[in-house]
Amino acid sequence: MKFIVSSSKLLKQLQLIGGIIQSNNTLPILDNFLFELKQGELLVSASDLETTMSVSLEVETEDVGSAAVPAKTLLDTLKTFPEQPLTFTFDEGSHTIELASDYGKYSLAFIDGDEFPKFPELDDASKTVLPAEVLVTAIGKTLFATGNDELRPVMSGVFFQFDAGSLTFVATDAHKLVRYRRTDLGAASTAEFIMPKKPLNMLRGSLSYNSSEVEVVYNNTNAQFSYDNVVMVCRLIDGKYPNYEAVIPQTNPNVMIIDRSAFSSSVKRVAIFSNKTTHQIRLRLAGAEMSVSAEDPDFSNKAHERIACDYQGDDMEIGFNSRFLLEMLGNLGSDNVRMEMSAPNRAGLLIPADGTDEGEDLLMLVMPVMLNH
């Protein structure tokens, strides 16, 4: 088995899927890339059993066959080469690969490709096609709000909810919640599934805005994403997602509109003086002004700032965890933010006041922290 390939093209594709490979694999075969040759094409796959990702690239070959190649050794070698053609020759007898470059020859062992885990087949699957840009945005807006609690695995992923009239993506860790919805797109059939964090990070890293469309195929156990020359299959998180709509307060008479970057900068400065355990800051709203304050009595630290805003509602005082607030303000992406509140002990909503596309609906919810007067 033999093929010739561009060193930089091969490196780029291997780096794209290399993030799947874990450093402490229980199965030694998973430390390898699977190379499959067929009809002038090289298909390279990586897997951690939960997620499998493969890329295809054109190579010069007339052979067919497969082999599992040590991932770290190959990546480390390819990183040292400038752009040049590389010739890979597989010797079935000695189970070694000879790699020939402009500089010399290198030899490493390989394992039979048959030992590599197979791609899972998706039976009784549904299919939806999404614009790549929508999926990248949805992942970017929600992923930060997922939880890390091993006792509640459903909250460690992003909830995908598809129906004929909309596509909804939700993440929550019980302290904050993000709902990103597209009402200008829909799916052929209704579906709900929970995507784990790792494959979503891989998707975000490999999907570019140049990609046009992503085909999503899913059933009860797995989801498959196909775009450009990439196919990724991952196991879904099993379980029922909490009823997120029930925690979003519907009547919020107190509404503030404020410059997002000014609000964020103020919270960032004041939070330096807050308690290092609670990260609590206090917002006091009255008329056309909001005061942001924090204190840590243990160290006699205290800070207070005033910012102009457009506020309609009753005078109120509400406390938040500054970290959650900053994460949300950083991910909203609008010039101005609309903050809706009902009471100091009820969740506050953050909504972009501008900069969203038609059919795009983004809502972020943050739970308050109790203020001690």
3-state secondary structure string across the chain: CEEEEEHHHHHHHHHHHHCCCCCCCCCHHHHEEEEEEECCEEEEEEECCCEEEEEEEECECCCCEEEEEEHHHHHHHHCCCCCCEEEEEEECCCCEEEEECCCCEEEEECEEHHHCCCCCCCCCCEEEEEEHHHHHHHHHHHHHHCCCCCCCHHHHCEEEEECCCCEEEEEECCCEEEEEEECCCCCCCCEEEEECHHHHHHHHHHCCCCCCEEEEEECCCEEEEEECCEEEEEECECCCCCCHHHHCCCCCCEEEEEEHHHHHHHHHHHHCCCCCCCCEEEEEEECCEEEEEEEEHHHCEEEEEEEECEEECCCEEEEEEHHHHHHHHHHHCCCEEEEEECCCCCCEEEEECCCCCCCEEEEEEECCECCCC
Q: Give the model confidence (pLDDT) of 215-239 as tens digits.
A: 999 999 999 999 999 999 999 999 9
Residue 270: predicted pLDDT: 97
Residue 210: predicted pLDDT: 66
Residue 209: predicted pLDDT: 57
**Percent of the chain clearing pLDDT 70 (strictly above):** 99
Stronger pLDDT, 91 or 357, i.e. the higher one: 91
Q: How confident is the model at residue 364 (pLDDT cuts 50, 70, 90)?
A: very high
Residue 111: predicted pLDDT: 95
Q: Do domains 2-115 and 126-245 have the same CATH topology?
A: yes
Closest CA to 3 of 92, 99, 74, 73: 99
Q: What CATH number belongs to 126-245? A: 3.10.150.10
CA angle at residue 293 from 292 to 294, to 5 degrees? 140
Superfamily of domain 248-366 in the CATH hierarchy: DNA Polymerase III, subunit A, domain 2 (3.10.150.10)
33: β partners: 69
Q: Are 121 and 205 in contact (CB under 8 A)?
A: no
The class (CATH top level) of 2-115 is: alpha beta
Q: Give the model confidence (pLDDT) of 141-188 as tens digits.
A: 999 999 998 889 999 999 999 999 999 999 999 999 999 999 999 998
> CA distances (Å), 334 to each of 89, 179, 252, 268, in order?
54, 16, 21, 18
Residue 200: predicted pLDDT: 96
Average pLDDT over residues 186-192: 90
**Percent of the chain clearing pLDDT 90 (strictly above):** 88
Query: Would you say residue 278 has pLDDT above 70?
Result: yes
Task: Provide the Cα torsion 361, 366, 367, 372; round to 10°.
Answer: -140
Residue 373: predicted pLDDT: 61
Domain chopping of the chain, boundaries: 2-115, 126-245, 248-366
